[in-house]
Amino acid sequence: MDSAVMEEVLLDVRGLRKSFGAVAATQDVDLTVRAGEIHALIGPNGAGKSTLITQICGEIRPDAGQIHLAGRDVTAMPAYERARRGLGRSFQITQLCLEYTAIENVMLSLTVGPRTIFSIWSDPRRDAKLAGRAQSWLERVGLADRADVPAADMAHGERRQLELAVALAREPRLLLLDEPMAGMGPEESARMTRLLAGMRERYGILLVEHDMDAVFALADRISVLVYGKLIFTGSCDEVRQHPEVRSAYLGDAAC
């Protein structure tokens, strides 16, 4: 990838703070994600990772600080406006229409994408052109042969792949992935790791994940959040060797 593209900052978080009563969930957090980069966010349970993600997405407002998306201040923007400006997200708990087939889930996502307009009287599931676009997204995540399977009948790992297709169909530039390997077995996790690795050059990715094998396999940079504070940001090797990080979170996983 061109170095100038790689240096483009898609997400720039500065001095982000959020408290709930006496509990400081995020404390002056600074974080960036560049185009073509996978930036992992790790930390123990209760570290504030989910609160940080929900602030970036616009689901809750920070008490202080700023969030810039591709150079635009989006701190006061609602979540749907951030999505329109290129922010995509997958959730820790899969968010799909379980009664719909895989291709119908993606088609539904396409109907709320930035370039699609439909009559309120039409049924988008009958649109052949839309179905073709949805099928191409299923192919990209390895679900081409599962298009007509209801999401309720899919394996857990397949649902996670489908959720990724749903997010990608909205044509984001920046993806926030909240524990995409959660609940997966070793084979499913390895499959998802390969899939995300192949997406690196197309998107900037902020990856929240507890699977440290996946994190070390994927991340260009890692930020470590503990009790609402970022205690370190660096490369995989730097994080592995950092004494405070090993003490607070990694332990033997750093070896």
Predicted confidence (pLDDT) per residue in 203-239, tens digit: 999 999 989 999 999 999 999 999 999 999 999 999 9
pLDDT for the residue 249: 66
Model confidence at 90: pLDDT above 50 = yes
Predicted local distance difference test score (pLDDT) of residue 201: 83
pLDDT of 93 reads: 57
- Segment 174-183, tens digit of pLDDT: 999 988 988 8
Quote the CA–CA distance of 152 and 97 in Å, as a whole number.
8
| Mean pLDDT of the 7-23 span | 94
pLDDT of residue 245: 82
- % of the chain at pLDDT higher than 70: 88
pLDDT tens per residue, range 185-195: 889 899 999 99
What is the arithmetic mean of pLDDT over 165-169? Answer: 92
pLDDT tier at 120 (50, 70, 90 boundaries)?
very low
Burial of 148 (0-12, 13-18, 19+ CB in 10 A): exposed
Q: Is residue 155 within a helix (H) or strand (E), and if so which, with residue range?
A: none
pLDDT at 45: 86
Looking at residue 246, the DSSP 8-state letter turns out to be I
Res. 127: pLDDT tops 80: no
The residue type of 25 is A
Alpha helices in 200-247, H assignment, sequence order: 212-218, 236-241, 243-245
- The rounded percent of the chain whose pLDDT value lies above 90 is 65
Cα distance between residue 128 and residue 61, in whole Å = 40
Q: Is the pLDDT of residue 1 over 90?
A: no
Is the Cβ–Cβ distance between 13 and 74 less than 8 Å? no
Q: What is the mean pLDDT of the chain?
A: 87
* Calpha distance 153→59 (Å, rounded): 30
Q: Where is pLDDT greater, at 5 or 209?
A: 209
CA distances for 197 relative to 12, 39, 96, 130, 190, angstroms: 22, 12, 23, 27, 11
* Across 117-143, average pLDDT: 78
Contact assessment for residue 87 and residue 174, using Cβ atoms and an 8 Å cutoff: yes
The angle formed by the CA atoms of residues 74, 75 and 78, to the nearest 5 degrees, is: 75
Statement: residue 81 has pLDDT above 60: yes
CA 31 vs. chain centroid, Å, equals 15
Where are the domains positioned within the chain? 1-86+174-191+200-255, 92-171
Domain at 1-86+174-191+200-255: CATH code: 3.40.50.300
